Structure 1
Amino acid sequence: MVNDYQRFELGSKLTDEQREHFERHGFLHFANFIDERQVATLIEASKAVERQWVAEAREKVNGVPIRYGRDLDGSKIVQRFAFANLYDQRLANFLDDPRFNLLFELIGRDDVRIGTHEKDGMVLNHYVHGPDSEFSRLGWHTDGLRDIFLGTRLQPLLNVGVHLSTLGTEHGGLRLLPGTHRQSIWQMLFRKRYFIDHREDPREVAIVPRAGDLTVHDGRLWHRVAQSTQTGEASRRRVIYIPVVSGPYAPKHEASPTPLYQRLAKLSK
């Protein structure tokens, strides 16, 4: 496992060095994207959505199952939010940050956009490693699997992560296989067993963020979320993922069916 890799600052535009790093490795890590106040605002917004969904006993959002679990005190919590931006104005407003648009050139097409109503919208993952947690890790997968399962053409996709917790490698978190965004479709489908394979890969890079950092990775890149070796409060971590999409506009709605890949993802606990 590698945790020593190049980190950047996001300025008014992407640099040649940043573009070359992304083309070669399939990911970028930008430090200090947002400050502590903004981190706190996003966490509080997620808690407001959580209170609403728990009170409503809501099961799905636009066909995507809500993943519930139990916090360390036994209270019911949401551990995976989909389309969270549709339920709190603070989360919706965050997507208007013009710096997200700087990433569009990594796809390099005219139809690139933030998927506010597509894929799973703004996803917020709340991991905690406790006895009643339902979401403490996620096995190897690629984000492009969604297009394949839906029977559509694989479209360029970026997964943009806004990290709300400061992590060390002992806290688990995002693991990437650099360069796998340039693999064949066969390798994208069969390099690893989707969602049920959690084994460490000697070539993987461990993303080690501070709260407020931003990462972006190509949707074809193999990645996983490692379980924290810590338990209890030390294991708690939150991260927002925002899809940057291209291709035909494909919004979801309350009558949208639950895709098969969501059922496979449920295998991870």
Structure 2
Amino acid sequence: MNIPIQSFVFTGQIHSLHRAYFAKTGVLHFKNFVSNSTVTQFLQEVREVENYLIRHHITRVNGIPLKYGTDTDGRPIIQRIAFASQFSPVLSNFLKSDALGALTTLLAPYEARIGETEKDGLVVNHYVNAEDSNFSKLGWHTDSPRDLFLGSRIRPMLNVGLHLDDCPYENGGLRVLPGTHNKGLWTLLFRKRYFIDHTPDKREAGFAIDAGDLTIHDGRLWHRVQQAPFTGEKSRRRVMYIPVITGAYRPKHAASATPFYHQIAGIKLFTKRKQKKVSTPALPLVPEING
């Protein structure tokens, strides 16, 4: 059931209308946040970052594992890149732009910032349905409990997604449960089974995404990524996720430990692939590099 989310046009700042809608639903959708030419530029930057990481056999950055997979043509790709802006001045400059900076006011009265060197930094997710793909969907979850794994209390945060491919509702993509961001700790932790549950919810809302659109969701909001019903090129969805965070400054570095939730995900992925008897490109482990 497609319950649509209202879309807005970003004019350089957050207005009272945006604040009211976000307070009610926990989500915002801005159309054409960046131009088509900027999308093309960012896709090229992401490809160059990916090629660099593959060429240098890098498997994790600042303690965060990279999710390797296989594209539709059989070549290795990275389906989740952490701290991508570390390898691209263009992407890093985008994170410092006034447009993104304006979004931090959604967390007022808390003092918020773009977490370029914190959490997982700028994350690039690459969903595609291919025979050996490792990343085509994502189960129900919220983002806030990561703070608990890192030994701190849950802090207000936003997850901001810049979409680099068209994704009509029928092609899968982001699904949210509007209003679940302010229902208390029990709902935050136990409403659904984290990452295991992929079942559509009759109360979920979806999006009609064009490349260049921006989505924002509260870190406490329940959401998932619906798998595309297609295979191959038509299933491809690339999204850059930017954390907007509050609290003490906690940058990651080369010696940063891998968070527990990433370790669990790695074990789960290894077990799944072993059962499927699927081979991945041989990528020798190397020390992670500084942010």
Q: Give the TM-score normalised by the residue count of structure 1.
A: 0.96
Offset at residue 265 of structure 1 (A) = 4.2
In the other structure, the counterpart of 2:58 is: 58
For 1:253 and 1:78, locate their aligned partners in 2 and report how far apart those are by CA, in whole Å.
21
Q: What does 1:76-95 align with in structure 2 at a 5 Å threshold?
A: 76-95=76-95
* 1:212 correspondence with 2:220: no
For 1:110 and 1:172, locate their aligned partners in 2 and report how far apart those are by CA, in whole Å.
34
For 1:170 and 1:192, locate their aligned partners in 2 and report how far apart those are by CA, in whole Å.
24
For 1:55 and 1:5, locate their aligned partners in 2 and report how far apart those are by CA, in whole Å.
41
In the other structure, the counterpart of 2:9 is: 9
Say whether the 8 Å CA contact 1:145–1:261 is kept in structure 2.
no
Offset at residue 216 of structure 1 (A) = 0.7
Say whether the 8 Å CA contact 1:3–1:208 is kept in structure 2.
no
In the other structure, the counterpart of 1:72 is: 72
Say whether the 8 Å CA contact 1:170–1:230 is kept in structure 2.
no
SS across alignment from 1:77: strand
SS across alignment from 1:210: coil
In the other structure, the counterpart of 2:25 is: 25
| TM-superposition CA deviations, 1:154-198 (whole Å, max 9, x none) | 111001110111111232111111001102112111111111111
Q: What does 1:132-171 align with in structure 2 at a 5 Å threshold?
A: 132-171=132-171
For 1:187 and 1:6, locate their aligned partners in 2 and report how far apart those are by CA, in whole Å.
24
Say whether the 8 Å CA contact 1:156–1:246 is kept in structure 2.
yes
Say whether the 8 Å CA contact 1:119–1:243 is kept in structure 2.
yes
For 1:178 and 1:71, locate their aligned partners in 2 and report how far apart those are by CA, in whole Å.
33
For 2:265 and 2:226, locate their aligned partners in 1 and report how far apart those are by CA, in whole Å.
14
Change (3 A) 1:4 1:80: same
In the other structure, the counterpart of 1:201 is: 201
In the other structure, the counterpart of 2:245 is: 245
In the other structure, the counterpart of 1:192 is: 192
Please list every run of 5 or more consecutive structure 1 residues that lacks an aligned counterpart in the other structure.
Answer: none
| TM-superposition CA deviations, 1:62-95 (whole Å, max 9, x none) | 1100000000111000100100000111111111
In the other structure, the counterpart of 2:229 is: 229
For 1:164 and 1:138, locate their aligned partners in 2 and report how far apart those are by CA, in whole Å.
18
Letter of the 2:12 counterpart: S
Offset at residue 264 of structure 1 (A) = 4.0
| TM-superposition CA deviations, 1:34-85 (whole Å, max 9, x none) | 0111001111111101111111111100110000000011100010010000
For 1:188 and 1:74, locate their aligned partners in 2 and report how far apart those are by CA, in whole Å.
39
Offset at residue 151 of structure 1 (A) = 2.1
The percentage of aligned residue pairs carrying the same residue is 49
In the other structure, the counterpart of 2:122 is: 122
In the other structure, the counterpart of 2:262 is: 262
Say whether the 8 Å CA contact 2:14–2:106 is kept in structure 1.
no
Letter of the 1:4 counterpart: P
Say whether the 8 Å CA contact 1:195–1:264 is kept in structure 2.
no
SS across alignment from 1:151: coil
SS across alignment from 1:161: strand
SS across alignment from 2:9: coil
Please list every run of 5 or more consecutive structure 2 residues that lacks an aligned counterpart in the other structure.
Answer: 273-291
Say whether the 8 Å CA contact 1:138–1:265 is kept in structure 2.
no
Q: Give the TM-score normalised by the residue count of structure 2.
A: 0.89
SS across alignment from 1:101: helix
- Which has the greater radius of gyration? 2
Please give the root-mean-square deviation of Cα atoms over the aligned residues, in Å. Answer: 1.3
In the other structure, the counterpart of 1:39 is: 39
SS across alignment from 1:80: strand
Letter of the 2:158 counterpart: L
Say whether the 8 Å CA contact 2:5–2:206 is kept in structure 1.
no
